[in-house]
Amino acid sequence: MGKFVVNTHGRLQEWIADEKGYFRLEGLDYELTQHQLLTKKAEDKTKGIKAGTVPDNLHGAFQSYEQGRDASISCACHWTVNMAASASHGQLWGEAYSVSPCGIFVPENSPVRRPEDLAGVNVHVGYQSGSHYTTIQALEPFMPADRIKLKFGGGPSDRVDQLLNGLAPAATVFGMQYYIMEQLGFRKILDATFMIAALIPPGVDLNAVKKYYRALRRAQSDIDHMHQSYTHFYLNELPERHAKLVDVRRFGPGERIVFEPYTRELYESTHKWVEQRNIFPPEKAGECNYEGAVACAV
């Protein structure tokens, strides 16, 4: 059995578990790899683009699972992981999930003041990624579905660049990008906090997954106790152009892991919610089969 490969996800838990030896204490032979959408090497793609001309980027979290991530475990929003597991791209880990702060932000001088003001306004999100689904979920109480207008602006760092450079009238960001926009004075119009789940590819040892989560439980306790001691880890993943604009000591704890089951009811209702909104064509929606899609320790 090779190393247990962990995709980092712009959150603190893996970095803490690595530095404090929690993975080793659990007997996990592991390696950390940075998720391609959040890496420090992410480039600014806004050069030469004018307002209103940002092209749609139709490669998001689900497409990365279709292609296959080089990891023994990786995270994405629970909608995408649910659908990826249903389409047999791996199994959703059913014994924990996490919750990430997220919001729809606009520039400080924007005329948008209320969620209703976003009707017909392009909200930049990631395609079939957490910001896509959560923006719909957050805006539905305020307007009809046909008034929710989405622009698929790319990954989290891309959307930060689009806000900073005046190319996005609004954008949904989460985690460390949420803290960037908050600190730089962008206005949050609506909270869009959402759930994140983990996907395990076929053939991964579930005992190793249990060790991984036991280590993260220790790290989560450290964060709950005093997250300020660990916010410097955000610098491991922020692009340098964004890191130099902010003081990560002011950031919050970010994504919080919840050690509760991802239940059958949650799995089935989430799958149905996605299908009802036609976010996936039927041939990619997979089969809503809890036993096959969700992995639990035995």
pLDDT in tens, 108-153: 999 999 999 999 999 999 999 999 999 999 999 999 999 999 999 9
> In terms of CATH architecture, what is 4-295?
3-Layer(aba) Sandwich (3.40)
Token pair for residue 80?
């995408």
Kindly state the percentage of the chain with pLDDT values over 70.
96
How much is the pTM?
Answer: 0.95
- pLDDT of res. 195: 98
pLDDT band of 2, cuts 50, 70, 90: confident
pLDDT band at 260 (very low <50, low <70, confident <90, very high): very high
Under 8 Å between Cβ of 88 and 82: no
What average pLDDT does this structure show over 150-178? Answer: 97
Q: How far apart are CA 108 and CA 111, in angstroms?
A: 9
Beta-bridge partners for 97: 258
What pLDDT score was predicted for residue 181?
A: 98
Q: Given this model, what pLDDT does residue 289 score? A: 92
Among 1-10, 62-71, 86-95, where is mean pLDDT lowest?
Answer: 1-10
The per-residue pLDDT for range 268-277, each reduced to its tens digit, is: 999 999 999 9
Q: 35-49, 168-182, 284-298: which has the minimum mean pLDDT?
A: 35-49
- pLDDT computed for residue 21 by the predictor: 98
Using the predicted structure, report yes or no on whether residue 39 has a pLDDT greater than 70.
no
Per-residue model confidence (pLDDT) at position 196 = 98
Over the stretch 202-259, which tens digit does the pLDDT of each residue have? 999 999 999 999 999 999 999 999 999 999 999 999 999 999 999 999 999 999 999 9
97-108 confidence digits (pLDDT tens): 999 999 999 999
Pairing of strands 122-125, 149-152: parallel
Q: In a 3-state reduction of DSSP, which class is residue 38?
A: coil
* Mean pLDDT calculated for residue range 51-73: 92
* Over residues 164-180, mean pLDDT: 97
d(CA 124, CA 207): 39
Residue 297 clears pLDDT 70, i.e. is over it? no
β partners of residue 174: 102
pLDDT band at 37 (very low <50, low <70, confident <90, very high): very low
Structure tokens at 241: 């152009």
Angle between helices 78-86 and 264-276 (to 10 degrees): 90
Is a pLDDT exceeding 50 seen at residue 15?
yes
Give the pLDDT confidence score for residue 40 in this predicted structure.
55
Gap between the Cα atoms of 7 and 131, Å rounded: 19
Q: Where are the domains of the chain?
A: 4-295
pLDDT at residue number 41: 60
Residue 73 is given by DSSP the state B
Which pLDDT value is given to residue 294?
96
